[in-house]
Amino acid sequence: MKVILICLVAWGLVLSGHAQMRVVYHLYITDTTVNYTGKKVRAIAINGTIPGPALYFTEGDTAEIHIHNEMMMETSVHWHGLIIPNKYDGVSYLTTPPIRPMQTYVATFPIVQNGTYWYHSHTMLQEQIGEYGAFIIHKREPDRKREADSLKEYTVLLSDWTNEKPYEVQRSLHNATDWYAIRKGSVQDYAAAIRDRHLGTKLTNERKRMLAMDVSDV
């Protein structure tokens, strides 16, 4: 009976076109300094880079990701958009314990989907200073082979940067000032709202403490 079961499992893997694999990554999270604008500021790197390394899998794999926190503060890694067991979701104090300073956490979960996703810190505002990267899941064969025959694949990850501390940016935005809008020349006044027939929208947004530019814009 054991021999028959083993043969059936092996046959199923052949039919799927992809031998299921355990794909292992090690992510080393460290403090660093960057200079994107002529001024040195604090940042967080993963394996020495910002963004962190792209992680590649194929649907049906098992992910085994070792997260090494080499900072003197806690951190976390959230797998954005992935369907995984809740205990590995990576939201500190909600689904997953925080990763303490100088500790390693291992997240092991099945890959049950395909597509382009990303991972990032869900602790404090660490994502905004560099703790993020791409998470790419390829389709199983033979669909993947057909696509690979005609398409060359690139991963493009877009982000922005500010030399300000993220907490200062958040504080300014939630104080509902026009500071960032003035700097960008995007202040929306009542005359412009009336001219564009959006006075009601402006009044509604002000009741919500939401300015012309969204809180997440900066």
Predicted local confidence at residue 7, as pLDDT: 33
Residue 155 within any structural domain of the chain:
no
Rounded alpha-carbon distances, angstroms, from residue 16 to 2, 11, 38, 145: 22, 9, 52, 12
Please indicate, yes or no, whether residues 138 and 181 belong to a single structural domain of this protein: no
What is the tally of structural domains in the chain? 2
Average pLDDT taken over every residue of the chain: 84
Q: What is the pTM of this model?
A: 0.75
The CATH number that applies at residue 86 is 2.60.40.420
Please indicate, yes or no, whether residues 48 and 129 belong to a single structural domain of this protein: yes
Q: Is the pLDDT of residue 218 over 70?
A: no
Confidence grade of residue 183 (pLDDT, cut at 50, 70, 90): confident
Predicted local confidence at residue 13, as pLDDT: 41
Please indicate, yes or no, whether residues 128 and 78 belong to a single structural domain of this protein: yes
Please indicate, yes or no, whether residues 38 and 135 belong to a single structural domain of this protein: yes
Confidence grade of residue 181 (pLDDT, cut at 50, 70, 90): confident
Predicted local confidence at residue 143, as pLDDT: 59
Please indicate, yes or no, whether residues 30 and 138 belong to a single structural domain of this protein: yes
Please indicate, yes or no, whether residues 50 and 115 belong to a single structural domain of this protein: yes
Please indicate, yes or no, whether residues 107 and 33 belong to a single structural domain of this protein: yes
Of the three residues 150, 180, 202, the one that is the final residue of a domain is 150
pLDDT of 105-150, one tens digit each? Answer: 999 999 999 999 999 999 999 999 999 999 999 998 765 565 666 7
Predicted local confidence at residue 106, as pLDDT: 97
Residue scoring higher pLDDT (67 or 174):
67
Q: Is the pLDDT of residue 9 over 60?
A: no
Predicted local confidence at residue 8, as pLDDT: 31
Please indicate, yes or no, whether residues 33 and 121 belong to a single structural domain of this protein: yes
Please indicate, yes or no, whether residues 139 and 31 belong to a single structural domain of this protein: yes
Containing domain of residue 36, as a range? 17-150
